[in-house]
Amino acid sequence: MERTEYNLIIIGGGPAGLAAAVAAYDAGERSILILERETRLGGILNQCIHNGFGLHTFQEELTGPEYAQRFIDKVLERGIEYKLDTMVMSIGQGEDGSKEVMAVNEADGLLLLKARALILAMGCRERSRGALNIPGFRPAGIFSAGTAQRLVNIEGYLPGRRVVILGSGDIGLIMARRMTLEGAKVLVCAELMPYSGGLKRNIVQCLDDFGIPLKLSHTVVRIEGKERVEGVVIAQVGPDRKPIPGTEEHYDCDTLLLSVGLLPENELTIGLGAEISRITNGPVVNESLETSVPGVFAAGNVLHVHDLVDYVSEEAHLAGERAAEYITACKDAMCAPPEKEKQIPVAFSGGIRYTVPCTIDPDKIGDWLKIRFRVGDVMTQRKVVLCLDSEPVLVKKRRVMAPGEMEELVLTRKVLAAHPDLSSIEIRIEEDKA
Amino acid sequence: MYDVIIVGAGVTGCAVARFLSAFKGSFCVLERTEDVCSGTSKANSAIIHAGFDAAHGSLMAKYNLLGCRMYPELSKELGFSYKNNGSLVLALSEEDIPKLEALMENGIKNGVEHLEIVGRERLKELEPAVGHVPVAALYAPTAGIVCPFGATIAFAENAFTNGVEFRFNTEVKGLTRSEDSEGNSFWIVQTAEGVLRTRAIVNAAGVYSDILHNMVSANKIRITPRRGDYLLLDRRTGGYVQHTVFQVPGKFGKGVLVSPTVHGNTIIGPTAEDIEDKEGVDTTSEGFDDLMEKAGLAFDDLPLREVITSFAGLRAHEARHDFILGEASDAPGFFDCAGIESPGLTAAPAIGKEIAQELAEKLGLPANPDFNGKREGFIDPKALDLPELAELIKRKPEYGRIVCRCEQVSEGEILDAIRRPLGAKSLDGVKRRVRAGMGRCQAGFCSPRIMDILAEELGVDVADITKSGGHSEVIVGLVKDRV
Ligand SMILES: Cc1cc2nc3c(=O)[nH]c(=O)nc-3n(C[C@H](O)[C@H](O)[C@H](O)COP(=O)(O)OP(=O)(O)OC[C@H]3O[C@@H](n4cnc5c(N)ncnc54)[C@H](O)[C@@H]3O)c2cc1C
């Protein structure tokens, strides 16, 4: 049982972890360790063999594994250390303010590691059937879309031949196309909400192009089959999202795929004691993407679920830089001296569900800071207004806003400079009458 | 010719087998499904009841008390999880208090020790999470919780290592009595896998025990499957309640229980609905609504957002609401363990011991000189301290490779689940033994990996790996195999 110290330990070797590592390195940090539980770096991108990644970052259309490889190459070029097949079991804080990581793998056995800073980049998992309270039997043939994706794209197995999909999240949409291409018949995609949770482009390219009907305001009310799925009954739901009797439709199928939402994986974060947002299920972070535990940063889907990996990389870049700065501030100690913080909460209204970051210290913003948020409902003809001390400083017109598409606002140093004694930050969505 | 054939590998059949293996003879357990513990024993509240509930003088009362007293010791001997957490029956209004008193009186007559009625203040001390409604409670410190899979599998494994044979996918279809040339009677057992002969039969067929019983006896019984739905909450809710919290049946109906499980989840249930289908374990949305509403009477802030799965179990309900135990009066050599509804899990070891004893006397079986009543449970790396864990992984590196993230189950544990005597053959088999796939993602991440491990260990194609035996194959083929 060896004890090993690093300046920075990054938990998760997916796109967030990789980009954070590269950014921290480029900011001058050399003592970095990435811990990844899978057998290769790249995270969930390894099973996303469709293209559409990297348009923003590389101005190219790449597949998931190609996008991941760009960042893996950067990690390798820099000689950043990483361990695969390594599961972090818990994280905590030592008395000296160090961050403690307990992990296991076959080769090293039990690892008890210490770091000055941590970056959480564990990604997310899919909401399961159980969390939805779908009644019925529990036969084989019910998969979350991501599990089906892994079975098909990594293992080469076909999970079913006649498929009903519940939920129109992006993975479900992508899998509708993939299953069709692999020889299965996708009968229908049912979505509980009156709008899709996925990207518009995926609805067009994965459902419409293959003639797969999307039934909005529909849900699964029965699963048939005791050993393997034999049929699924869907029904329309009313405004209260409860099934409307008499609207049931039966589908003969052997498979039900669920694409009903992603949940940031924050068991470690909760164990650490960091504050968690009830909206995002991710940690509450400041402008530096630092959690309520100083020196612990978060980025990517562990923080809030993104729809484009490009934004994950960008976010993680910031976390990496800020972690490197934190480590510099530590000097010889295991943690940085506490500082008087001037954290201003980001207030919001008009249908915004959350913002990342949740609080901002105006003195700690570089040239610019992206504030990301999601809305709770589909809205048209709106404007997003950013107010500093109640004064509108930025207005962004949006023709359509939807829960499935992440929104962003850029707060610049320049704008902030005009408000030296800033005490409130607010983002509002207003109707755009013009 | 067997001495004894036990029909059914639920907790009852396996407990009988385990205690029977202390005697010398040839014994066999026949099970229609692919694994032990795949009937009612896998879907219940997992409570070791103290024994105040069952009517005084009933078999339920007798074996409940005996069983409850056996679990602490047995769990150590056989290496399964059990915890003595105590139970509380809540009175939801002043009018309910006489009912608590009646329960306590019944319990005392049954022989239950340390029962106590506590007022609201003491109740809040014992169980801070209870809401504003409950006014008092019956406290039973001897009650406990158990891993029902762990207990059943432990009984089975220990029986097996002591010489009891197990045959799976072997449904008993017919029973006829016959005599040999010397006038000794025996049973001819028709199964899906051929004909077997035995001197005695134990009917431990759960909800099917009426079918078995009625094959041989003129005194017909009828078992009604009484379904109970459950909600299981994330381990994150561990510690929300300490005790098993019941509600006294009252103006709000029978009430539901909220309890910790031995693995740190919180369980809410069950509902009660009589059905026809002996395999009707489908849950209903009405059931879920009912549970949430009733549980909400006892607690103000139940973390219902944390539901990770739901399931249903079938009580083997017999109209007289008592266990039917022992040799049938008109069918010598046919021993019933029928109508084993709650508290059947609690009673199982006591029933097993008793029935084994009766069989031994009837058949003149001597003690088994090689009997070893001890069994090593699964290694649980999470229960080890750090130096022990480091040592384990050094010795057995497969324990350092985590396959199930949510429950942090290693490849070592999964291999153990498969390689043990009566090992797992399906995803659910692995799940019941070592909890891989039991957590919050409900096997999303780990099932592909476990399928591969199963296929390799069992020497079969991945396409043949099932969720739970029969035709529950997980995949249907290879990509593009029909394109
Ligand atoms: C909702 C609910 C809650 C409960 N809660 C508790 C509790 O908290 N505490 C408690 O003590 N008890 C509880 N119980 C009761 C307890 O679960 C049961 O009494 C116990 O599990 C019954 O075990 P068994 O072995 O008799 O039946 P089962 O577990 O059903 O086993 C019977 C087996 O027989 C097999 N079989 C049937 N027919 C044949 C055939 N012809 N040939 C071969 N094999 C056959 C079946 O496949 C099955 O595996 C509860 C029950 C329910 C339903």
Distance B325 CA to ligand 1 centre (A): 15
Interhelix angle B59-78/B344-363, rounded to 10 degrees, is 90
Per-residue pLDDT tens digits for B103-155: 999 999 999 999 999 999 999 999 999 999 999 999 999 999 999 999 999 99
The reply to whether residue A140 touches residue B473, judged by beta carbons under 8 angstroms, is yes
- Chain A CB contacts of B397 under 8 Å are 106-107, 109
Residue B417 to residue B432: CA distance in whole angstroms: 9
Q: What is the pLDDT of residue A14?
A: 98
> Which atom of ligand 1 is found nearest the CA of B11?
25
DSSP line for A257-294: EE---EEE--HHHHHHT--B-TTTSSB---TT-B-SST
Minimal C-alpha gap between A232 and chain B (Å) = 13
Do the Cβ atoms of B152 and B11 come closer than 8 Å?
A: yes
CB B159 within 8 A of CB B442: no
Query: B39 C-alpha to center of ligand 1: Å?
Result: 5
Ligand 1 centre and the CA of B22: distance in Å?
23
DSSP A85: S
- Going residue by residue through chain A, which has 434 residues, state the pLDDT in tens, using 9 for 90 and above: 456 999 999 999 999 999 999 999 999 999 999 999 999 999 999 999 999 999 999 999 999 999 999 999 999 999 999 999 999 999 999 999 999 999 999 999 999 999 999 999 999 999 988 878 888 999 999 999 999 999 999 999 999 999 999 999 999 999 999 999 999 999 999 999 999 988 889 999 999 999 999 999 999 999 999 999 999 999 999 999 999 999 999 999 999 999 999 999 999 999 999 999 999 999 999 999 999 999 999 999 999 999 999 999 999 999 999 999 999 999 999 999 988 778 999 999 999 999 999 999 999 999 999 999 999 999 999 999 999 999 999 999 999 999 989 999 999 999 999 999 999 999 999 999 87
pLDDT given at position B37: 98
Reference A21, options A62, A82, A67, A66; nearest CA is A82
Residue of B nearest to A268 (CA): B406
Residue B313 alpha carbon, nearest atom of ligand 1: 53
Would you say the C-alpha torsion A71, A73, A79, A81 has a positive or negative sign? positive
Mean pLDDT of chain B: 96
Which of B258, B233, B239 minimizes the C-alpha distance to B247? B258
Answer yes or no: is the C-beta of B259 below 6 A from any ligand 1 atom.
no
Question: Omega into A245 within 30° of 0, i.e. cis?
Answer: no
Please name the amino acid found at residue B321.
H
Among protein residues, the one whose CA lies closest to atom 39 of ligand 1 = B205
- The pLDDT value recorded for residue A81 is 97
- Regarding beta strands B144-146 and B172-179, do their DSSP bridges make them parallel or antiparallel, or are they unpaired? unpaired
Half-sphere exposure at residue B66, Cβ-oriented, CA atoms within 13 angstroms: 15
Residue from B41, B59, B207 to probe ligand 1 pocket by mutation (most atoms less than 8 Å from CB): B41
- Which residue, among B218, B225, B178, B170, has the nearest Cα to B198 in the 3D structure? B178
What chain B holds in terms of domains, given with CATH numbers, is 2-40+149-222+321-363 (3.50.50.60), 83-145+224-316 (3.30.9.10), 381-464 (1.10.10.1100)
Single-letter amino acid, residue A299: A
Predicted local distance difference test score (pLDDT) of residue A129: 85
Other C-beta atoms closer than 10 Å to the C-beta of B222 total 11
| CA distance linking residue B165 with residue B421, whole number of Å | 11
Neighbouring-strand partners of residue B118:
B137
Tell me, what's the pLDDT at B341?
95
**Beta carbon of B314 within 6 Å of any ligand 1 atom:** yes
**Cβ–Cβ gap A128/B398 under 8 Å:** no
Sign of CA dihedral A325, A329, A331, A336: negative
| Cα-to-centroid distance, B11 and ligand 1 (Å) | 7
Nearest to B398 among A106, A108, A221 (CB): A106
Give the dihedral of Cα atoms A201, A205, A211, A214; nearest 10 deg: -30
Q: CB of B231 within 8 A of CB of A134? A: no
Report CA A175 to chain centroid distance, whole Å: 18
Contact B475 A110 (CB under 8 A): no
Question: Given its phi and psi angles, is residue A284 left (phi above 0), alpha (psi -120 to 50 degrees) or beta?
Answer: beta
Report field, pTM of the whole predicted structure over 0.90: yes
Residues paired with residue B178 on neighbouring β-strands, in sequence order: B186
Name the β-bridge partners of A409: A371
At B252 the pLDDT is 67
Distance (Å, whole) CA A54 – CA A71: 11
Verify whether the Cβ–Cβ distance A106 to B447 is below 8 Å.
Answer: no
Q: How far is CA A185 from CA A94, A178, B111, B471, B473, in A?
A: 55, 10, 62, 21, 19
Contact A128 B309 (CB under 8 A): yes
Distant-in-sequence, close-in-space partners of B73: CB < 8 Å, separation ≥ 6:
none
Two structure tokens written together for A426: 């607010």
Amino acid at A286: N
Q: Which residues contact B57 (CB under 8 A, 6 or more apart)?
A: none
- CB-nearest to B476 from A147, A155, A159 is A159
Nearest to A315 by CA among A359, A371, A376: A371
> What does each C-alpha distance from B345 to B33, B45, B168, B206, B223 come to in angstroms?
19, 9, 21, 12, 17
Taking an 8 Å cut-off on Cβ atoms, the answer to whether B393 and A106 are in contact is: yes
Answer whether A233's CB lies under 8 Å from A219's CB: no
Regions of chain B with pLDDT less than 70: 251-253
d(CA A154, CA B445): 13
CB count, 10 Å around CB of B425? 21
Closest CA in chain B for residue A130:
B309
Distance from CA of A368 to the nearest CA of B (A): 37
Helix (H, G, I), strand (E, B) or coil at A156: coil
How far apart, in whole angstroms, are the C-alpha atoms of residue B126 and residue B200? 49
Contacts of A130 in chain B (CB under 8 A): 232, 307-310, 442
Q: What percent of chain B has pLDDT over 70?
A: 99
User: Which token pair is B287?
Assistant: 């059931």
Tell me if B229 CB under 6 Å of ligand 1. Answer: no
Using alpha carbons, select from B407, B415, B401, B398 the residue that is nearest to residue B452: B415
Which residues of B are catalytically annotated?
49
Tell me which residue has tokens 């993939």: A178
Determine the residue of B12, B38, B44, B66 to mutate for testing ligand 1's pocket, defined as the one with the most ligand atoms within 8 A of the Cβ atom: B44
Nearest CA-CA partner of B89 in B274, B220, B259, B265: B259
Amino acid identity, position A151: L
Q: Select from B32, B33, B34, B40 the residue to mutate for testing ligand 1; criterion: most ligand atoms less than 8 Å from CB.
A: B40
CA-nearest residue to A44 within chain B is B445
Residues of B in contact with A4 (CB under 8 A): none
The rounded distance, in Å, linking the Cα atoms of A308 and A56 is: 9
